[in-house]
């Protein structure tokens, strides 16, 4: 395993981060989830990402159980707050002081931990003053319940505002967690430059574009049985906009590039995001332990300029890079 500093801080995280969105507490049985976490640990992964909203709090509980018995100081555990949880009452969402304070306590109980290493604002809350949100995060840090604060899917201007407030309040905003992959590059024009200026790193999710960049989805064919693309209750919905034949045809042009490196297409996709210097780690999930071992092999790849150019030549015409797609929600999620 390799490690990188997270933002302008002294915290190091593993370049491959194990995430349990869409798996723990929902798609896979707890026994399989525990086996995946064990494999992640065996592969040297020390960073684990979850959120209170995943499986409506169940994912945090499963991760907490799976990590029992591990030396806490050897792990970096991330969770998030914003989306509705519990019975979805009128205060069970957003980034109000009330919701943040109640949510961090609930997350720690489920994770069976005294603190998380990184607590992240899962979206921007347009209905709560940013000052209120940042003061609440400052108090969470001072209480020792979180060591650092991050954001997820925030636009550049809001990251700048939040960073300035964090500095005034005496705590560190060190990370951004956006979607980022060969196909989805909306953070490149504005978010990454802002984060480079401010000393934040990216922790990216969906580096394989929901599995599309693995090459297993073929144009003109139904998604393989048991794949995320065939999961009508979750995965298929999040991937629908990329499952067109023109996208899937272009992605197949990546196959000879990967083969030339002695790698799988999925490993190439992970190595591609890690080639960006502002990316500290790539979040990968798994429904089977062997998937983790395969993903970790991406760390053996070094992509030179010629390879990066070949990737752009293959799929550049289907890349999404519009910075306006990173935006503030019009209203708070309910």
Residue 174, Cβ density class (10 Å: 0-12 exposed, 13-18 middle, ≥19 buried): buried
Q: Are 79 and 107 in contact (CB under 8 A)?
A: yes
Active-site annotation holder among 5, 18, 54, 124? 54
User: H or E element: which one contains 77?
Assistant: strand 76-81
Q: C-alpha angle with apex 296: 294 to 300, nearest 5 degrees? A: 105
Instruction: For residues 254 and 109, give the distance between their C-alpha atoms in angstroms, rounded to a whole number.
Output: 44
Nearest to 44 by CA among 235, 278, 260, 295: 295
**How is 260-282 classified by DSSP, letter by letter?**
HTT--HHHHHHHHHHTSTTEEEE
Establish whether 54 is a catalytic residue.
yes
248 vs 253: CA distance, rounded Å: 9
Q: Which residues are catalytic?
A: 54
């Amino acid at each position: 395993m390799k490690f990188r500093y997270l933002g302008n801080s002294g915290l190091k995280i593993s370049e491959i981060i194990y995430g349990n969105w869409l798996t723990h507490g929902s798609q896979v049985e707890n026994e399989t989830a525990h086996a995946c976490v064990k494999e992640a640990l065996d592969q040297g992964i020390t960073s684990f990402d979850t959120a209170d909203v995943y499986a409506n709090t169940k994912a945090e509980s499963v991760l907490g159980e799976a990590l029992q018995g591990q030396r806490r100081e050897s792990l970096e555990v991330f969770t998030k707050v914003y989306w509705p949880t519990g019975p979805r009452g009128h205060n069970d969402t957003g980034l109000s002081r009330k919701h943040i304070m109640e949510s961090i306590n609930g997350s720690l109980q489920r994770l069976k931990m005294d603190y998380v290493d990184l607590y992240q604002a899962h979206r921007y809350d347009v209905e709560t003053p940013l000052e209120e949100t940042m003061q609440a995060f400052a108090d969470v840090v001072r209480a020792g319940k979180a060591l650092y604060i991050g954001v997820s899917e925030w636009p550049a201007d809001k990251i700048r505002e939040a960073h300035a407030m964090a500095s005034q309040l005496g705590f560190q905003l060190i990370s951004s967690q956006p979607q980022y992959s060969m196909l989805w590059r909306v953070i490149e024009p504005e978010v990454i430059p802002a984060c480079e200026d401010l000393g934040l790193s990216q922790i990216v999710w969906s580096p394989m574009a929901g599995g599309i960049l693995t090459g297993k989805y073929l144009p003109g064919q139904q998604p393989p049985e048991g794949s995320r693309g065939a999961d009508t209750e979750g995965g298929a919905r999040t991937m629908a906009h990329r499952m067109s034949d023109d996208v899937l045809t272009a992605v197949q042009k990546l196959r000879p590039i990967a083969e030339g490196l002695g790698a799988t297409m999925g490993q190439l996709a992970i190595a591609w995001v890690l080639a960006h210097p502002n990316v500290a780690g790539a979040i990968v999930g798994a429904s089977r332990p062997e998937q983790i071992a395969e993903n970790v092999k991406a760390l053996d790849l070094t992509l030179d300029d010629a390879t990066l150019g070949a990737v752009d030549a293959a799929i550049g015409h289907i890349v999404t890079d519009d910075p306006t797609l990173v935006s503030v929600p019009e209203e708070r999620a309910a």
